[in-house]
Amino acid sequence: MCAEHLLSRSRMTVMRSSARGRRRAAAPSRGLSLIELLVGIVIALLVSITATSGAMLFTATQRQGIGTGNSLVGAGTAIAALRDDVAAAGLGFFGDAQFLCRKLNLSVDTTVLVNGADFTPLSITAEAAGDRIDVLYATDVAAGANVLLNSAASAGSAPVRSLLPVNVGQAVLLAPAVPGDPCVVRTVTANTAAAPDTPQMIEFANVSTARFNRAAFATNPTYPDRGHVAVLGDLRWSRYRLVGTDLTLERPLGGGSVVLARNVIAFRAEYGLADAGTTALAAWQAATGAFATLTPANLPRVRALRIGLVTRSPQREKPNSAGNCESTAAMPTLFGAAVTADVADWQCYRYRSATLVVPLRNLVLGMVP
């Protein structure tokens, strides 16, 4: 009796437990309370705000870094172009240990660019925005040597004493035996090889394809026996100057212009001079005073060119908590002279200076006895 009663009670207990379990499983789970939901929203907003601020800071830093990098690349490109052009200055205009062309006749098509004026293949000109550098040189390495005329050259042809390796379409320089009369640049339109009894004959016809033959000059000298002829290949004229805050390379011989670097706030150049009668570099001279215009008389003292530029970062940096900019405490100097900022809040920007010294080997070697 007791055993059966106990067994019956056990079965009833199991049945009640199973029923309670089924009811719990069938009942829906309890959702979030309003307070829990609000707390979650606030946390999500805080995380979103923090992430947005971080992204904005990262983007600004990235933009500033890219701008600074572009400025450095532009300055490096400008320095490289200047170095190569200035190093070649004067190629083709020297011979027999003398400067052949104290004056020059130069034209492109029918436009006269230099009309018998005093000439140097390198010059610095002080302008309001900054210094301007002009460089002329031949592109053919053979321009470092010249040959003599066999007899007087006319306006249209030149007989030469020895072989001149020139092709139709190339430019040549005709220079007097003794510097004085203007040199002239001509384009070769015909080249007749030498024969046993006749010299090589180079011709310069006035045709549309001959870009250096088509203009008339105030003085059109003839070049007598023993005048000089040099192969130029092509004549290159490069002009570097500031246009606003853009450092620009111009090609006065018809090549247009390009911007080499932006945000350039200073561009200056100086001649490296030797003392009169010596050859060693002794001093740096700006384009002022006796050297405001470089002349054939003081050209032999020039040994090198020093070039400098200052660039400003394009991205303005944020001020400190007090509202003051601390990026730059003092403006940089260039060759010992102060640089003037192009913006009123100049302390909010960063600046970089770059300098370059270029030996003028063609000028130096061209006048070595």
Closest residue by Cα to residue 227 from 121, 145, 150: 150
Judged against a pLDDT cut of 60, whether residue 79 lies above it is answered with yes
Q: Which of 22-36, 250-264, 355-369 has the lowest mean pLDDT?
A: 22-36
Q: Give the pLDDT confidence score for residue 172 in this predicted structure.
A: 95
Under the banding of pLDDT at 50, 70 and 90, the label for residue 83 is very high
Q: How confident is the model at residue 332 (pLDDT cuts 50, 70, 90)?
A: very high
Label residue 7 by pLDDT band (50, 70, 90): very low
Note the pLDDT tens digit of each residue in 193-219.
999 889 999 999 999 999 999 999 998
H or E element: which one contains 53? helix 34-87
As a whole number, mean pLDDT of residues 131-140 equals: 96
pLDDT score at 67: 45
- Which of the 8 DSSP states describes residue 346? G
Domain spans of the chain?
Answer: 68-366
pLDDT given for residue 365 in this prediction: 86
Tell me the per-residue pLDDT of 55-76, one tens digit each, with 9 for 90 and over.
555 554 445 454 445 555 667 7
Residue 66 pLDDT = 46
Which of 266, 309, 304, 259 lies closest to 283, judged by CA? 304
Q: What is the DSSP string of 114-139?
A: EEEEE--SEEEEE-SSSEEEEEEEES
Most confident among 150-154, 221-225, 238-242 (mean pLDDT): 238-242
Q: What is the pLDDT of residue 33?
A: 75
Q: pLDDT per residue over 267-306, tens digit each?
A: 999 999 999 888 899 999 999 999 999 999 999 999 999 9
Q: What is the DSSP letter of 110?
A: T
What does the pLDDT look like over 93-132, one tens digit per residue? Answer: 998 888 999 999 999 999 999 999 999 999 999 999 999 9
Task: Give mean pLDDT, residues 138-164.
Answer: 88
Q: What was the pLDDT predicted at 171?
A: 96
The pLDDT of residue 348:
94
pLDDT at position 138 is 95
- At residue 92 the predicted structure's pLDDT band, cuts being 50, 70 and 90, is very high
- Residue holding tokens 């992430």? 51
9-38: pLDDT as tens digits: 555 554 555 555 555 555 555 566 777 777
Q: Which of 157, 156, 139 is nearest to 231 (CA)?
A: 139
Q: Which amino acid, residue 245?
A: T
Instruction: Answer yes or no: is pLDDT of 8 > 70.
Output: no
- CB atoms < 10 A from the CB of 313, how many? 21
Both tokens assigned to 231:
């192969």
Lowest mean pLDDT among 63-67, 240-244, 254-258: 63-67
Q: How confident is the model at residue 367 (pLDDT cuts 50, 70, 90)?
A: confident
